[in-house]
Structure 1
Amino acid sequence: MSEIDPRAYWLWLQHALGAGSSKQNRILASYPSLQVFYQEGKESWLLEGYFTPKELHALETWSVEQAQALLDYCEKLGQTVITPDDAEYPDLLREIPNPPCALFVKGKLPDFSHRLSISIVGTRKATATGRGAARSIAFELAKKGVIIVSGGALGIDTAAHQGALQAGGTTVCVLGCGIDAEYLMVNASMRDAIALHGALVSEYPPQTQPISSNFPIRNRIIAGLSVGTLVVEAAARSGSLITADFALDQGRDVFAVPADIFSPVSQGVNNLIKSGAKPVSCAEDILEEYSELFPEKIYLDGGKTNDMIKDNGMIPKKQENVNYLQEPADISDDAKTVFRFLEKQPVHIEVLQEKTKMNTSRILAAITELELSGAVKTYSGGRYSLP
């Protein structure tokens, strides 16, 4: 037998299990490698007890040599195959419960480990207002170096990709079909541009057609590649809400653009906001959530930063521990102590614990006092700042 590329074992497994499976996690917990699992054969697979008859049939009848042939075919098409064994495989995807065994990629995956990534999704039947909001927010985020992730569909997805491209930024399109499938040919030129300035991504092999059942499974990858997901216009039952649910299940942030309560595409996003999603009206509402995670990329100073970077080619240094807000009257000593350590940039509660030498319950009680006085702004993930 000719030498087999290690990636072929992942392709073989993905073919057998199908998109969206999490059984590879159980396999890797029991076997030192997929190659060993493959070589053990059907008797060993039966003993595992969690494969369906359909999966067992596929494991047995589709060989790793056929997977190698698929790998060779992808290379001829100009598609790169990336598996969890590869350094290029995004760490964000490793964190989700059911990471894809293989990604088919056209273009170049950006560095998700060192850049903020936000997915922007929404209805295909978008209003002009919704498309404008998606395009504008994607444009401003991309200008800040944020990777924009979406699904390449008409409506909000298209507007998000266009906004990132117009900003000269990076965008990733996650497809629910093979990259070479004739899907929405009206967007073919946009997908070509995305491949030049980011990547087209799919867990479906070449020539896989865009059947409806693929897209909800695909949505977990859109959410998985993103630190946060923004929903712009979605009806009460929407694929975009599936993406938001995946984001929540994966421990990621969810944002929503408030919509007209009488619009048919408003109920989904407004329900998200009622359930705790952060309402946003501009890119800065999202960026302020991540200024601590990506301080060298994001600097918020009342809107002047872009001009300073453009004029000087540098990011200004942040002033540390400068508190210009007057201390509220009639607050407890604990609230006064916490207030003294708040800054314009969000501070995590663990930092406040270290600085104030107070436990969590005392800090939260103090934060509540400061909130009632309008002297603190809260963020997701237990972070607080001056308003």
Structure 2
Amino acid sequence: MWLQQALGAGSSKPVRILSNYGSVKDFYLAGKESWLLEGYFTRKEIYKLSSYSAADAQLLVSYCEDIGQNIITPESEEYPGQLTQIPNPPCALYVKGELPDFGSCLSVSIVGTRKATEAGKTAARSFAFGLAKQGVIVVSGGALGIDTAAHSGALQAGGKTVCVLGCGIDANYLMANAPLREAIAAKGALLSEYPPSTQAMGSNFPIRNRIISGLSAGTLVVEAAAKSGSLITADCALDQGKDVFAVPSGIYNPVGKGVNSLIKSGAKPVSSVNDILEEYTEQYPGKFNLDDTQINVIIKGSNTETAPAPEASLEGLSDDAKRLFPFMTDEPEHVSKLCKLSGLRIAQALSAVTELEIAGKVKSYPGSRYSI
């Protein structure tokens, strides 16, 4: 934590430090004169290394404990092993919730534009649902559009999802998605390289993206404009030696140029969950059921086909969905109000409305509002 506070998120220098000193403790004890002799620290970094003490770091640890955040470092048992393999692994990670076991499960990140089309959101949600049903950890960034759809689909499937933020976990960022983040923390984890209260800045997100791809065996891009930030995540995946998948898009779709460009450059085009899973059957023998057609979304052109439209009944839906649905009206209501009316917890309600939306029973609106 002391090292991260001094050098900042995304720095590659900790790897060099560990190579030269063996441990962060030995580097800390070496002192300022030794740091200056290294020759690769800026004046600002030397100042921060000198002024930020181990006692300051301990105060931050105590504060995080008070607000329900865990801190893990590369020495922690919970630290995802995949991140130790990337060029600039985070010195410290802040976690709310419980990180799934990345060592024993396949993980796939799903990213894309914030300005997604309905077809794009349906595709992201369906892929996430299908992957989560097969025990795959779904990783994304918590933004509007494709990210939100991916997290929601994984939650609806009862699976694990991890949201990697480009700000402090407690920051006032995209408050319309605050209920979704609460649901993710309850069923998976919120993760950030940035300490509490760090506000979202445009420069944070490209740095954050290497963690999204680093946690994942492959990255799926669903709708991205020609200069989308999602392409940065895809580039990070390629630099890390990871797989890149892309959902083909219509040539007239303004948020489809990026994914089509990825395919031209060698990304694997996918139209079903199986197209992704088949790449990992040898690495995870017997783990996936590729014959489960119920979760195998098929996409043709710009339209997404899922299971046939459900009957008017709620047959086949979860008890939570059945409990929530009677309180839905044709006027969009915020999910917090639906919680009060139904008595469901926020995580249960979000999972229920996502399930109902996939079943074609309800519509979603900006700001976590829903109607029939």
Query: TM-score of the superposition, structure 2-length normalised?
Result: 0.78
Q: 1:262 aligns with which of 248, 252, 257?
A: 252
**1:161 aligns to 2:151 (yes or no):** yes
Instruction: Quote how far apart the aligned CAs of 1:304 are.
Output: 8.4
Q: 1:151 aligns with which of 111, 122, 141?
A: 141
Partner of 2:89: 99
**1:57 aligns to 2:44 (yes or no):** no
Partner of 2:98: 108
What is the CA deviation profile of residues 298-336 of structure 1, one whole-angstrom value per residue up to 9, with x for unaligned ones? 132474899xxxxxxxxxxxxxxxxxxxxxxxxxxxxxx
Instruction: Quote how far apart the aligned CAs of 1:281 are.
Output: 1.1
Partner of 2:179: 189
**1:216 aligns to 2:206 (yes or no):** yes
Aligned with 1:178: secondary structure? coil
Higher relative contact order (CA 8 A, sep 6+): 2
Partner of 1:5: none
Map residues 224-263 of structure 1 onto 2, 5 A cutoff: 224-263=214-253
Instruction: Return the alpha-carbon distance in structure 1 between the equivalents of residues 104 and 285 of structure 2.
Output: 11
How large is the RMSD of aligned CA atoms in angstroms? 1.2
Q: 2:162 aligns with which of 168, 172, 177?
A: 172
**1:275 aligns to 2:259 (yes or no):** no
What is the CA deviation profile of residues 66-116 of structure 1, one whole-angstrom value per residue up to 9, with x for unaligned ones? 011001100111000000001110011000000000000000111101100
Partner of 2:191: 201
Instruction: Return the alpha-carbon distance in structure 2 between the equivalents of residues 246 and 304 of structure 1.
Output: 32
Instruction: Return the alpha-carbon distance in structure 1 between the equivalents of residues 152 and 24 of structure 2.
Output: 40
* 8 A contact 2:133–2:295 mirrored in 1: no
* 8 A contact 1:291–1:299 mirrored in 2: no
Partner of 2:29: 39
Q: Which residues of structure 1 form unaligned runs of 5+?
A: 1-10, 307-387
Query: Kindly, what percent of the aligned residue pairs are identical?
Result: 70
Map residues 309-348 of structure 1 onto 2, 5 A cutoff: none
**1:28 aligns to 2:23 (yes or no):** no
Instruction: Quote how far apart the aligned CAs of 1:32 are.
Output: 2.6
Aligned length: 296
Letter in 1 for 2:88: N
Aligned with 2:226: secondary structure? coil
Q: Which residues of structure 2 form unaligned runs of 5+?
A: 297-372
* 8 A contact 2:224–2:258 mirrored in 1: yes
Query: TM-score of the superposition, structure 1-length normalised?
Result: 0.75
Partner of 1:126: 116
* 8 A contact 1:90–1:113 mirrored in 2: yes
Instruction: Return the alpha-carbon distance in structure 2 between the equivalents of residues 20 and 37 of structure 1.
Output: 19
Aligned with 1:41: secondary structure? helix
**1:68 aligns to 2:58 (yes or no):** yes
Instruction: Return the alpha-carbon distance in structure 1 between the equivalents of residues 217 and 197 of structure 2.
Output: 30
Instruction: Return the alpha-carbon distance in structure 2 between the equivalents of residues 193 and 149 of structure 1.
Output: 14
* 8 A contact 1:291–1:300 mirrored in 2: no
Instruction: Return the alpha-carbon distance in structure 2 between the equivalents of residues 300 and 262 of structure 1.
Output: 32
**1:12 aligns to 2:6 (yes or no):** no
Aligned with 2:138: secondary structure? strand
Letter in 2 for 1:270: N
Q: Which runs of 4+ in 1 moved over 4 A?
A: none
Instruction: Quote how far apart the aligned CAs of 1:250 are.
Output: 0.2
* 8 A contact 2:130–2:295 mirrored in 1: no
Instruction: Return the alpha-carbon distance in structure 1 between the equivalents of residues 181 and 268 of structure 2.
Output: 30
* 8 A contact 1:299–1:305 mirrored in 2: no
Partner of 1:298: 288
Instruction: Return the alpha-carbon distance in structure 2 between the equivalents of residues 174 and 238 of structure 1.
Output: 18
Instruction: Return the alpha-carbon distance in structure 2 between the equivalents of residues 148 and 261 of structure 1.
Output: 28
* 8 A contact 1:235–1:267 mirrored in 2: yes
Q: 2:107 aligns with which of 86, 106, 117?
A: 117
